[in-house]
Structure 1
Amino acid sequence: MKNIRIAFFFILLNISAFGQVQNSRFADNFDLLKKDTLKINTPLPELKSMAIASDCKLSIGGEIREQFQYYANENWAANGNLNNNKVSVLQRYALHANFTLGKHFRIYSEIFSAFEDGRKTPNRIIDENKLDLHQVFFDFYTKLNENNDLIIRIGRQEMAYAQGKLFHYRDATNTRQAYEGIKTEWKNKHFQIDAFYMNPLLYKTNVFDDKANYDNHFYGIWAKIPLKNIFSSNLEPYLLNSYKKNAVFYNQSGKQNRYTFGLRWHKTDAQPFNFDIDAAVQTGTIGDNSIFAYNLQGEISYKLAIPWNPTLRLATEFVSGDRSSTNQLETFDVLYPLNYYGLVLPIVPTNIKDIVFGINAQPMPKLDLKAQVFYIMRNSNSDGLYSPPMGLAHTNKSITGSLSDKDYVCTMYWLQGTYNFRKYIQLGLTYNYVTNGNYIENTQMDSKETHFINTFVRLRF
């Protein structure tokens, strides 16, 4: 099976893919791709916007991604030498079909397959999912009047808002995150309002065994209001409710019903100056106790008009953690976020205060370079760190069993380069170096600095 997958990959390296494709492929403009699509030296037809009947069109596409990863002291050597100095190979394949019937109906489906070879520890759900139906949903489009459009989407689907800080399709990992439910989009030139009810997908590693997690759900309203006369920006107020049958934190656990009230303000015209500010407050209950948590995030960047077009970036976060002196839970729940700290650092921005310095540059049109430094600390010494999506990662107790009074988690250095070979074959290389701060040294026996190298090649058609 492995040889078949590798052979299939090298065959597709001879394919040229053109057109404008999106990270979530259901958002592709399939009509735009019709004359600028997959070309191979065979009698096969074009695969986009194929007319199969009167007013009916079918588009087919997909993705192949190969990753090679090397860890030295993964997760600060939490598993000893089990995965130390090991190279793992990760392969991901996706194939989708988009069927439109007239101007009002569409069906989108996507199958997904992910494999991992080389790790000593058991395969993680973020690494392997042999074969499953990743997305399948039905869209209904209608015009309420001349200025208002409505889309109703029902089924299994990807979602992402606010740069993925609360929920995201999570592209960096070998498997992606999807949700089951219903979503509506109401659009006009003055605003867009999305409303949704979702259950996260519960992933397993075998064939067609993924299912919705009905013990957890979330619903909410997310609005986008253009402020063209104020820095060409968008204002995004949002209200969310999340329910978890058994939420587990370091100081409390139980049935959780949590509300998130948030406001994001960000610039849409990114050159040369850009900003993104997000503030959220959470209330609700866990068991018999109340919840009050908060999240403050800010980012500014500036693109210099000099060779290589470097963009300087400064970002910070201040996210609440729990203080054990009260019965009120103060840990912020980031729900189902993207891998904010990349693949090397398996934590989410909860009980965190950090500052990030970065620079992006483009020495040639197809080559993008990125360098970042993350300085990360705990916000509350009474709480630990959490892994995506809100699992227990690093305890708040020291090696001796007492409450750890250390707060410096680590400094992470991030170097990355991506090269767009041809048009939709992309090559990438990332190197991360992560120090072990006094908190890690105080809570993890024999902790060590982490080195991580990830290289990938991706084709999308």
Structure 2
Amino acid sequence: MIDSSTLGEFRSPCENVQRIPMRKAHTGLIATLICSSMLLASNQVFATPDGPAPIFIMRPLDNIDWYKDPAHRQKPLDQLKYIPFGNNGSWLSFGGELREQYDYFSPPAMGFSALSKDDYFVQRALVHADIHFGFGPRVFLQLGQFNTWGHDAARAPVDKSDLDFTQAFIDIPVSLGNVQLTGRLGRQEISDGSGLYSGTLREGRNIRQSYDGVRLFANGKGWRANVFKVSPVVNDEEAFEDYADRNIDFSGGYASFMAVRPGLNVDAYAYNLQQTSRFVSGAPADEDRYTLGGRVWGAAAGWDYSLDIAHQWGDFGAQDINAWGSFATFGYTLSDIAMKPRLGMQMLYASGDKHSNDGEINTFSSYGITLRAPLLSESEYFTANNLISLYPSLTLQPRPDVTLKAGVNFLWRESENDGFYRTPFGLMLMPSQGQGKYLGNTLEAMAAWRINHNVTLTGQYTHFNAEDFMESAGGKDFDYVRASVNLKF
């Protein structure tokens, strides 16, 4: 609880927001966004010290050791970061997030819609309790409330939900010599590697992807690994009605070997995704898809790089699966000159189906539960199925707390005998609906301002130029704008 006496004569800029009529939802949300950022940036509630570790997207990764010193818990909400209890070293930490976001599409659905535009607000509110018992176990509980206002088009099923658990798990640690093992049981988020095959946060959407199941972590000297068996959680808009989709079984493992050589880290991963009655094109069928891949990544002498290569095989109904994909990012940062420009390049090559009646599916699949979004565009329309992407970019830091990035992403279908796939709906256009491989290009721009330890403002812009296949299929140029404020403690 915040002690109002610590605020002195400070008057909240938000005190009159509640008088705004709800029928003016856009006005009210804009006012809430502005006043909330003013409140937190004012440093009247939160401390803005240099000491705390960064606040992660995946909040179970937060390191709150800095707050264990009473001298670092002077502000009201700082006191919630570390609360010791009992006599055996047990402690409790609270945290939360409020994200207010505005989205604008013109036209929506890449022009395959009668609407000329769609703009709306989404709101994400999260609060968590992280309980560490001195004798070993840990309990992590996170509740979320998700709202949306103003849609003209049909809203996404992951935009709105009443209160529910987004994460609720227990960790049991065990030491075996120099190896630390941790078993995790319950609802949890999963993200490993570059995000192409195994990142599942879905951070661009209002509701991120959670899973119900079990996971085992192992950490040794210079390496770490985890294995898991889970099912994705399906959002139900009613309170406490989310459920695991038992028609989907996702299992696998990811291992990282750190500093194999200076500037070189090596990852290896294997996954199995089983889905019953999955619909791609034609009749639905059961899918049993395996992915085996590796990644090399690191940084040295101003360069940074990451390269994934993976092969997929298995069965889709009576057809065999034989597909592959690669994803690479690399850049060079000129750290000795103004604004520290980084010249970057991102490349993706994901196979498409070669022949429709040969009994073999060649479409690499990374959409659905195994794709981090956004990955290829802030608009989130493009996914790594039958796709070639070439994306040069320039990143600038005019000051340490401000990041600017811009680039052009060129997009092709890998195979003319396969269609166009869109996040998160899968196959959007059949190969016969358009001509040519070239889809078009997107102009991508992003700006982020980290006001302080707790407040970040971001803005994104995408302009898509429809070409060849998209244009012949009836798609249009579109613009997308996103503006958000993210408040975390």
TM-score by length of 2: 0.86
Which residue in 2 is equivalent to 1:265? 296
Say whether the 8 Å CA contact 1:136–1:156 is kept in structure 2: yes
2:382 counterpart of 1:347: yes
Say whether the 8 Å CA contact 1:92–1:115 is kept in structure 2: yes
* Code of the aligned partner of 1:452: Y
Say whether the 8 Å CA contact 1:16–1:422 is kept in structure 2: no
Separation in 2, partners of 1:6, 1:37: 33
What is the SS of the residue equivalent to 1:46? helix
Say whether the 8 Å CA contact 2:140–2:167 is kept in structure 1: yes
* Code of the aligned partner of 1:48: K
| Match among 224, 230, 233 for residue 201 of structure 1 | 233
240-249 or 275-284, larger mean C-alpha shift: 240-249
In the TM superposition, what is the alpha-carbon distance from 1:91 to its structure 2 partner? 1.0
**Closer, same or farther: CA 308–250 of 1 in aligned 2, 3 Å:** same
Separation in 1, partners of 2:267, 2:430: 35
Which residue in 2 is equivalent to 1:142? 174
2:478 counterpart of 1:458: no
2:452 counterpart of 1:418: no
| Match among 70, 93, 96 for residue 104 of structure 2 | 70
Separation in 1, partners of 2:57, 2:378: 18
**Closer, same or farther: CA 6–47 of 1 in aligned 2, 3 Å:** farther
Separation in 2, partners of 1:202, 1:136: 15
2:451 counterpart of 1:406: no
In the TM superposition, what is the alpha-carbon distance from 1:33 to its structure 2 partner? 3.5
Can you list the C-alpha shifts for 1:130-179, whole angstroms capped at 9, x where unaligned?
A: 3211000000112111x211111111001111222123211121111111
TM-score by length of 1: 0.91
Separation in 2, partners of 1:17, 1:232: 35
In the TM superposition, what is the alpha-carbon distance from 1:37 to its structure 2 partner? 7.0
Which residue in 1 is equivalent to 2:469? 439
RMSD between aligned alpha carbons?
2.3
Separation in 2, partners of 1:7, 1:133: 28
Separation in 2, partners of 1:151, 1:58: 19
* Code of the aligned partner of 1:165: L
Say whether the 8 Å CA contact 2:378–2:462 is kept in structure 1: no
In the TM superposition, what is the alpha-carbon distance from 1:204 to its structure 2 partner? 2.5
| Match among 301, 305, 317 for residue 275 of structure 1 | 305
What is the SS of the residue equivalent to 2:370? coil
Say whether the 8 Å CA contact 1:396–1:443 is kept in structure 2: no
In the TM superposition, what is the alpha-carbon distance from 1:431 to its structure 2 partner? 1.2
Can you list the C-alpha shifts for 1:282-301, whole angstroms capped at 9, x where unaligned?
A: 11111122110100222221
What is the SS of the residue equivalent to 1:397? helix
**Closer, same or farther: CA 39–352 of 1 in aligned 2, 3 Å:** farther
**Closer, same or farther: CA 292–456 of 1 in aligned 2, 3 Å:** same
**Closer, same or farther: CA 303–131 of 1 in aligned 2, 3 Å:** same
In the TM superposition, what is the alpha-carbon distance from 1:375 to its structure 2 partner? 0.2
Which residue in 1 is equivalent to 2:91? 57
| Match among 167, 173, 186 for residue 155 of structure 1 | 186
2:274 counterpart of 1:243: yes
What is the SS of the residue equivalent to 2:166? strand
User: Hey, which of these two has a bigger chunk of helix by percent?
Assistant: 2
**Closer, same or farther: CA 17–385 of 1 in aligned 2, 3 Å:** farther
**Closer, same or farther: CA 384–122 of 1 in aligned 2, 3 Å:** same
* Code of the aligned partner of 1:459: L
In the TM superposition, what is the alpha-carbon distance from 1:250 to its structure 2 partner? 3.1
| Match among 81, 95, 120 for residue 48 of structure 1 | 81
Say whether the 8 Å CA contact 1:173–1:343 is kept in structure 2: no
Separation in 1, partners of 2:124, 2:222: 40
What is the SS of the residue equivalent to 1:33? helix
Which residue in 1 is equivalent to 2:145? 113
| Match among 328, 332, 336 for residue 298 of structure 1 | 328
5+ unaligned residues in a row in structure 2: which ranges? Answer: 1-17
In the TM superposition, what is the alpha-carbon distance from 1:271 to its structure 2 partner? 5.4
2:189 counterpart of 1:170: no
Separation in 1, partners of 2:360, 2:283: 9
* Code of the aligned partner of 2:460: T
Say whether the 8 Å CA contact 2:235–2:242 is kept in structure 1: yes
What is the SS of the residue equivalent to 1:439? helix
2:215 counterpart of 1:183: yes
Separation in 1, partners of 2:47, 2:361: 50
What is the SS of the residue equivalent to 1:125? coil
Say whether the 8 Å CA contact 1:310–1:359 is kept in structure 2: yes
